[in-house]
Structure 1
C-alpha cells in the first residue's frame, strides 16, 4: 500500500504535480510509495509540505516536456507515470520497458490530438461569423483541450469561447476559465496550473487574426521560430500605448533589454529618452519596439557581445512587427537605423540618402528614417556626438510635425 497520498486540484493539475514531485523526488521517494488522487473540489487538494531537507535537483527539459505530455494524456495513471519518469532519471534506475512503451504511445496520441484540435480550431474560426462567443466541440477524453486553452484564448484575442467534450465543457468567459462536468456547477480553472501544449503555439497561431496587442505580446513570449529564442533570456516585445500615433522601430534588444524584458532601457535607450524630451515627445504617448524581438550575441568569457540581426531573424520576427503596426495603426513610423529601415521599406537602405525626409508607407502612415541612438554613443569625439545628437533631435521633431491634429 502506498505510504503517501497526493491530492491534486483537478484532472490536469500540472503545477500541483510538479510541486509534489519536487518535494517527493527530492527525498528520493519511490513511485510505488505514492498514490495520486484528484480532489472532488479544488479547495480539498492536498500536496506534501515543502521539505527543507529535500535535495534540490534538475532534470533535462526533454524529461519535463514528456512529463507534461503524460499529464494531458488519457492514461488513468498518467501522474504516476510522469513521476516515475522524473524519479528514474534522477536516480539512474532503468525505466520499465512496459512504461516506456505506454508513454511513447501516449505521446504519439497527444501530439496527434493537438494537431487535430488546432486544425479544427483554425478551420472553425475561418468560418466563424464574428459573434461574441465561439463554440466548438471536440471528441476526446484526454486533457489536450485544457493544455491548448491558452492557444485558443490568444487566437481569439481573449474573446469568449467554449469547447464541449463528451464528459465536460471548457469555457473562457473573457475574464476567467471555467470547467464544468455534467450535473456539476462550473468551477474556475487556473490557466497557469495547466500543462504546456505538446507543440509550440506560435507556428500554429494565425497571428494576422489576433486583434489584441496584449494577446500578440503574450503569444510572442512563446516564440521559438528562430535559433535566437533558445539563447536569449526572453522575448522583448514592444511597449507603449495601443492607441499611439507615433511608433519607433529599432533593430533588436541589447544585453540590458534582454535581461529586463523591456525595449530601449539601456544606455542607448536613456539617450533616446533624452532626445524625445528635447523634441517635445512624451515616451508614454508613443509605442517603442524592435524589428527583432530577441537579443543576438556572441559570448566571451566576460560578456555578451551584440551581433547584427540577419535576414533569417528579421523574417522570423516580421509577423510580430506586422501585427504591432496593424493593431496600433500609427500615423508616423520612425525607423531607427538601417535594419529597421530595410525591414519596413522592403529594400536596401543607406541612412545618409534616406534620412530626414518623410516617406509614404504602404499602410498610409508616414515613415521617417534616422540613425539608431546607439550610433551616437559610438561616435569617436565629443564634437561629433553633439552635432549628430542635435540632428537626431531635429529628425524626431520633423516626425512629430507630421502628426497634425488628433481626429476623434
Structure 2
C-alpha cells in the first residue's frame, strides 16, 4: 500500500484530520503508512481525495471526543495517536496498552488545563472595564486555548480579545480569529476547524454576562444541561428583533420546530401567525421563543409524540429565557399557555383565572397570560374553535394596546 502524506491547515486542524481519517480509515490504511504534517500556510494544506470505494463506518461519540482531546494536546504525534484510536475501532482491535496509557494521561492533562483556563477567564473578566479588548496570558504549549476560543468569544459577546502564549498569540478581532507567531504574518483560523473543548461549553459559561443575543443563541446550541438535549434534533432558540417591544413565550418546540430549528412554524405556529395578523401585530416586529428550547417526546413506531416539559427541564432552560428577556427588554410579555405563565410568574397558574388581564412583571414589563395556540387546534368542534380563537385574538389586541407609541 502506498504511503500517504496528509498536510493539515494548522496545528489544531481537527476538521482536516477528521476528513483525512474518514478517507484513510475507510481504506484501512495503517497508522504506520501515514505521515501527518502542518502546512506552511493555509493554502498549502493537502488532504487525501475522497475515495468512493472506501468503506463507510461510524465512530462512537466517546472515541471522537477522545480524538479531539489528543489533537489539542502538545504531543508531537497527536494526529497519529488520534488516528490510531479511530483505526483500531474500525478494525475491531484493542488499542495498544502504551498508546492507551498515553491517551489517558493526555486526557487528564487537557481537561485540567481547560478548567484552569476557564477559571482564569471568569476571574479576569469581572475586573475588565470593557472599553479595551480583553488581554490575558496562558503559559501553555498545548492547543487548549484554540479549542476554548469559542468559549471566550461567546463569553465576551464577540467583543475583541487576545490570549498570549509562550510561542504564539491567539486573537479575536470581532470579525475573525487570528493566530500570530513571531516572525510570521497572522494566520486566520476558521473556528469550525478547531477541535471541540474537553469540557462541555454551556455549564461553564456565565450566561448572565453575555450581552449579545447572537452570542446567547450560539451558546445555547451546545447546551447539554438536561437529558432532552441528547434526544432532540437541535436546540430551537427564539427568533425575532433584538429590539422587539413585544415578546411571546410558549412551552417548547414541537416535532416540526425541532426539525426546522425555528419556533412556531408548525400548525400551531401557522394559527399563531394568522391571529397576529388579525390583531394588527407584525411577527417581524416581535420576538418569539419558548420556555424550553428542546423538543421533549416519546417515540411510537410512526411518530414522535409531544410530552409536557417537567420542572427539571424548565429549570435547566431558565437561564436562556432570562438572558433573552434581559437583552431584549420587551415592554410586553405574552405568556402562551400554563407552562410559560408558571415559569415567568414563578407560581402555579390557572389560565382561566389569569387570562386576559395585565400583570405587572418584576422587570417592569407588562405581562399577559393567554392560551397556547395548540389548545385551539385541540378543541372538539368548530363553534368552540371559532369562539376561543376570537378570544385569543382579543388577548393579543389587549397586549398590543399596552405598547406606547414608538419614539421616532
* TM-score bracket, shorter-length normalisation: over 0.9
Alignment pair present for 1:75 and 2:75:
yes
Q: TM-score, normalised by structure 2?
A: 0.99
Give CA deviations for 1:267-291 in whole Å, capped at 9, x if unaligned.
Answer: 0000000000000000000000000
Cα distance, 1:17–1:200 mapped onto 2, change above 3 Å: same
* Alpha-carbon contact 1:235-1:258 (below 8 Å) kept: yes
Cα offset for 1:119?
A: 0.1
Question: For structure 2, which runs of at least 5 residues remain unmatched after alignment?
Answer: none
In 1, the alpha carbon distance for the partners of 2:247 and 2:131 equals: 32
> What do residues 215-256 of structure 1 show as CA deviations (whole Å, max 9, x unaligned)?
000000000000000000000000000000000000000000
Could you tell me how far 1:55 is from its partner in structure 2? 1.0
Q: Is 2:356 aligned against 1:340?
A: no
How far did 1:132 drift?
3.0
In structure 2, how many angstroms separate the alpha carbons of the residues matched to 1:95 and 1:207? 40
Cα separation, 1, equivalents of 2:63 and 2:347: 44
CA distance in 2, matches of 1:333, 1:2: 65
The equivalent of 1:231 in structure 2 is 231
Q: Offset at 1:94?
A: 2.2
Structure 2 residue 171 is the aligned partner of structure 1 residue 167: no
For residues 51 and 300 of structure 2, what CA distance do their matches in structure 1 show?
Answer: 39
Q: What is the aligned partner in structure 2 of residue 129 from structure 1?
A: 129
Structure 1 unaligned residues grouped into runs of 5+:
none
Provide the aligned length of Structure 1 versus Structure 2. Answer: 408
Name the residue aligned to 1:40: 40
Q: 2:182 maps to what in 1?
A: 182
Name the structure 2 match of 1:110: 110
Does 1:220 pair with 2:223?
no
Q: 2:41, 2:383 → 1: CA distance?
A: 71
Equivalent runs, 1:225-264 vs 2, <5 Å: 225-264=225-264
Residue of structure 2 in register with 1:88 after alignment: 88
Measured in 2, the distance between the counterparts of 1:407 and 1:112 equals: 52
1:211 corresponds in structure 2 to: 211
The DSSP-based 3-state class of the residue aligned with 2:319 is helix
Show the 5 A alignment for 1:18-37.
Answer: 18-37=18-37
Distance 1:3 1:254 in 2: 51
Question: Considering only aligned residues, what root-mean-square deviation do their CA atoms show, in Å?
Answer: 0.9
8 Å contact kept, 1:132–1:159: no
Task: Say if 1:210 and 1:122 are closer, same or farther in 2 by CA, change over 3 A.
Answer: same
Q: CA deviation at 1:4?
A: 1.1
Q: Secondary structure of the equivalent of 2:7?
A: strand
Distance 1:406 1:198 in 2: 47
Contact 1:351 1:369 in 2 (8 A): yes
TM-score by length of 1: 0.99
**Aligned match of 1:148:** 148
2:11 matched to 1:3?
A: no
Shift of 1:2: 7.8
* Counterpart contact for 1:2–1:32, Cα < 8 Å: no
Matched with 1:397 is 397
Shift of 1:19: 0.4
Structure 1 residue matching 2:249: 3-state secondary structure: strand
Q: Write the mapping of 1:278-293 to structure 2, written as runs, cut at 5 A.
A: 278-293=278-293
The answer (yes or no) to whether the contact 1:2–1:35 under 8 Å persists in 2 is: no
Task: Tell me if the contact between 1:279 and 1:394 (Cα under 8 Å) persists in the aligned partners.
Answer: yes
Q: Distance in 2 between matches of 1:37 and 1:259?
A: 39
Distance in 2, matches of 1:346 and 1:72, equals 43
Offset of residue 312 of structure 1: 0.4
What CA distance in whole angstroms lies between the structure 2 residues aligned with 1:127 and 1:292? 33
CA shift, 1:110, in A, is 0.3
- Secondary structure (helix, strand or coil) at the match of 1:120 reads helix
Aligned match of 1:57? 57
Q: Is the 8 A contact 1:2 1:34 kept in 2?
A: no
